[in-house]
């Protein structure tokens, strides 16, 4: 933000006054009053916004998969366990979350789950539970 300007003033400076973004736009769009140019610019800005939002959502899904990967050693990839071990894929999200929180709070005995679950916030455990609930058995 230019020094000495508030956020709204900086926005006006960048986009409407002598600002660099306005100068850039005018340079590549010599006739900014043309409806075609305005429509094209609007479509471009909308596409760029959607791309940025979808990239953020994709990063969030990848983060949950990274957290859930810690479960793969015992519960199998994507929660599909080998025979003799408890599978997590396709189970009820709320039930999984309650069990994870019980491990974290020491209310449920375990060999290693109480240690692992303490490494996550309650929100992260909720996202992990939702991830496994969404997986096919």
Q: Could you read off the pLDDT of 14-57 as tens digits, one per residue? A: 555 555 665 665 666 555 555 566 566 666 666 666 666 565 55
Residue 1 has pLDDT above 50, yes or no: no
Would you state the pLDDT for residue 129?
Answer: 95
- The architecture that CATH gives domain 68-134 is Orthogonal Bundle (1.10)
Domain segments of the chain as ranges: 7-56, 68-134
CB-CB contact of 108 with 99 (8 Å)? yes
Would you state the pLDDT for residue 78?
Answer: 86
Tokens of 114: 């109480």
| pLDDT (mean) for 82-109 | 94
Residue carrying structure tokens 């408890």: 86
Please give the full DSSP string across the chain, using - where no structure is assigned. --TT--HHHHHHHHHTSS-HHHHHHHHH-S-TT-HHHHHHHHHHHHHHHHHHHHHHHHHHHHHHHHHHHTTHHHH-GGG-PPTTS---TT--HHHHHHHHHHHHTT-S--SSHHHHHTTS-HHHHHHHHHHHHHS--
């Amino acid at each position: 933000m230019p020094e000495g300007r508030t956020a709204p003033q900086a926005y006006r400076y960048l986009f409407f006054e002598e600002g660099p973004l306005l100068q850039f736009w005018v340079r590549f769009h010599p006739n900014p009053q043309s409806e075609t140019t305005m429509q094209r610019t609007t479509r471009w800005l909308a596409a760029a916004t959607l791309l940025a939002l979808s990239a953020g959502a994709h990063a969030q899904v990848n983060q949950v998969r990274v957290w859930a990967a810690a479960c793969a050693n015992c519960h199998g990839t994507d929660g599909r366990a080998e025979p003799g071990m408890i599978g997590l894929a396709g189970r009820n999200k709320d039930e999984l979350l309650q069990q994870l929180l019980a491990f974290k709070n020491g209310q449920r005995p375990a060999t290693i789950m109480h240690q692992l679950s303490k490494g996550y916030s309650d929100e992260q455990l909720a996202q992990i539970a939702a991830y496994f609930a969404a997986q096919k058995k």
